[in-house]
Structure 1
């Protein structure tokens, strides 16, 4: 079957665009690129025209997600798989494709109603290379896409079926731990999916809470970038929701900060990659090998 190849872009609705612009540039190190006529704020992190599109609609949540495929033939194949699964699909209009800066796309809702787009032919600006406002080495993107997202869903099983059997992604592993489950979670079991060598491009957590976007992750090219950003958050007063730590499944060294919209941003380095010829699905009962402590979690003093 045909499969999507990478997480291409995210559309996020926000309440405070100015706060997001400051956060994205001064803290995350993203580059503002060519704001649209309708006020959409585009954020750049590599040679793609943009990876994030922020709209001032007050949602403070993910509005849509764009998954890339290789070409027109792959897009038609994905359309056929969606049709076979009984998913209502809308062909991308020329004006929408122009707004997204892609050659063509299709749109539909995933099992939880998230607006999902599959596209090919992104606008790539090699003549306008990424220039971070901060002194960082840059981000791991390329064939691995912009990073990953973790989404809250009603039914993890439905998401597994759709993203594996319709969009062609593959399961990397499962994590089942009460520590990772937010209040109101129906199940602490999380499913992690990959569509390229990145360990996961999307993960799902069953819960009945908002926002549906639990966090998005940016992977830097240097551990120093993570450490300097951790210190910068402390200096700027950006809340750190989880301290530095290393995850059990992708081995990412990272920390979590609060965004201006309330959901989290994971900022990390050093994740392992997936080779489909040898990878075997795993399960884990802890989310982290070490660290990733909440500010309220204090170590217990040794006795004796």
Structure 2
């Protein structure tokens, strides 16, 4: 469901928040920025001071940008991959206008887990981990050694900042690829939501990776192509991080399924 976003931007809802995703008209055709929420003004000040103490340049954003984003407080910094990261508090709620999916999705799992996850390429894993772990306070969930055969081997690192298994994953690469964003994920309320989405994407020949179940978060999902060249993962029923969680590693990214679909 699109919401008003000005002449160069469309914004989309997933829940009671005024918006969760923004699509800007731009030649970049990649991730433009990512937002992370803190509880209040004191938490925003604490995050600002921590990032600056680690040597990161932090901008306290203008009232105009805060108004555009619909938040009470907003800072920004740039991560080691060159992605603009915005940290905010006081987002706009629209409880009085219930969210209704135009495609009939029963619900999206958001709330205290945020809106999903995203996966970025990084040319310097240590610097990226310092930014997200030391700077933003994330914790490592686990690591997968992903063997793509002729496509190479990658050591994926997954990070959480709430009960969701991962809000961020990093793919170490020698140099940044054409797309920094590998994919982003939306979690739905039921397996039927996922199946119906697969039907819609198959009609448009947009399936990139088939239905499967991941080893680490146990999510049932598939991946669809976007016109921008990165993917969107659509899934349900993962496991959460709990107090007994310990970091482990995996040799495979999926228990079954998740096969790449060759372009014709």
Alignment of 1:120-269 (within 5 A): 120-179=89-148, 183=151, 188-207=154-173, 208=175, 209-235=177-203, 237-269=204-236
Alignment of 1:26-41 (within 5 A): 31-33=1-3, 35-41=4-10
Structure 2 length normalisation: TM-score? Answer: 0.95
Partner residue, 2:63: 94
Contact residue 102 and residue 120 of structure 1 kept, 8 A:
yes
Structure 2 stretches lacking a partner, 5+ long: none
Q: What's the offset of the Cα at 1:129?
A: 1.4
Structure 1 stretches lacking a partner, 5+ long: 1-30, 298-304
Computed over aligned residues only, the root mean square deviation of the Cα atoms, in angstroms, reads: 1.5
Q: What's the offset of the Cα at 1:205?
A: 0.2
Secondary structure of the structure 1 residue equivalent to 2:75: strand
Partner residue, 1:287: 253
CA distance in 2, matches of 1:238, 1:146: 26
CA distance in 1, matches of 2:150, 2:180: 12
Q: Which runs of 4+ in 1 moved over 4 A?
A: none
Q: Deviations over 1:259-295 (max 9, x none)?
A: 11111000000110001x2110010110000000012
Q: What's the offset of the Cα at 1:38?
A: 3.2
Structure 1 length normalisation: TM-score? Answer: 0.83
CA distance in 2, matches of 1:151, 1:182: 21
Q: Deviations over 1:49-104 (max 9, x none)?
A: 10111111121100111110000000000011011101111101000001111001
Partner residue, 2:35: 66
Change over 3 Å in CA distance of 1:163–1:100 after alignment to 2: same
Contact residue 248 and residue 289 of structure 1 kept, 8 A:
yes
Partner residue, 1:17: none
Partner residue, 1:23: none
CA distance in 2, matches of 1:268, 1:253: 5
